A and B are shown apart, each in its own frame.
Chain A
Amino acid sequence: DAKTTQPTSMDCAEGRAANLPCNHSTISGNEYVYWYRQIHSQGPQYIIHGLKNNETNEMASLIITEDRKSSTLILPHATLRDTAVYYCIVRVALSRYGGSQGNLIFGKGTKLSVKP
């Protein structure tokens, strides 16, 4: 079973910020938070990931709470092309000391609809 809980669906007005929440209360110390999205009829696409610090890239920002039990993906200026299913996933990442990388286990995600 997926280790995360997300709302089933959300709406957002075009041009506004989309804030997608995710609960991962059982996250382990060596697990990262990953976000992927899946546009209709395409494969999932990587967005961003983080451990405990907030992260930002050209696509989105990731805010992780101090206790790491929840996070929020922020799309600062949503467009119609951001309409997709967004998956929040916790995953063991590779350590520089070796070991194996955890598998990417998807839940049902949040269906984000950006409306004009």
Chain B
Amino acid sequence: EAGVVQSPRYKIIEKKQPVAFWCNPISGHNTLYWYLQNLGQGPELLIRYENEEAVDDSQLPKDRFSAERLKGVDSTLKIQPAELGDSAVYLCASSLPRAGVGTGELFFGEGSRLTVL
């Protein structure tokens, strides 16, 4: 079974340019997450989708960041315009919440490493 697929793997842009990241979750996983990870830090949640609905976007900097998950499958995360401080790894994860006790393991992609010059 294919895991979470992200692209591009690496992206280098100049500041003020736009950038977009794409995520294809594991088939059938209706919950999708975008995390940001700075060097030496743990991942930080940006947004969480349940199907096509963003159920938690409280940590998404909405002035420059946007995300969408049309049809409740693939998702894109966009930054416009990018700033130097946006250099980080952007991780996508998906899960299949099941009613029960202690479920909802997250499966992560390998991430998209962004460098803003």
Contact = CB atoms under 8 A, between A and B. Distances in A.
Interface string B14-47: 0000000000000000000101000011111100
A93 interface: yes
A94 B109 contact: no
Contact of A106 (B42, B48, B97): B42
Nearest to A50: B102
B2 interface: no
A101 B97 CA distance: 8
- Which secondary structure dominates where chain A touches chain B? loop
A87 B102 contact: no
B49 to A, nearest CB: 12
A106 B108 contact: no
A99 B45 CA distance: 20
Interface in B57-81: none
Given A94-B99, A107-B42, A43 B111 contact: yes
B110 interface: yes
Contacts of B42: 2, 85, 87, 106-109
Interface string A13-53: 00000000000000000001000100001111110011100
Given A96-B99, A108-B42, A101 B56 contact: no
Contact of B45 (A50, A105, A108): A105
Contacts of B108: 42-45
Interface in B79-98: 91, 93, 97-98
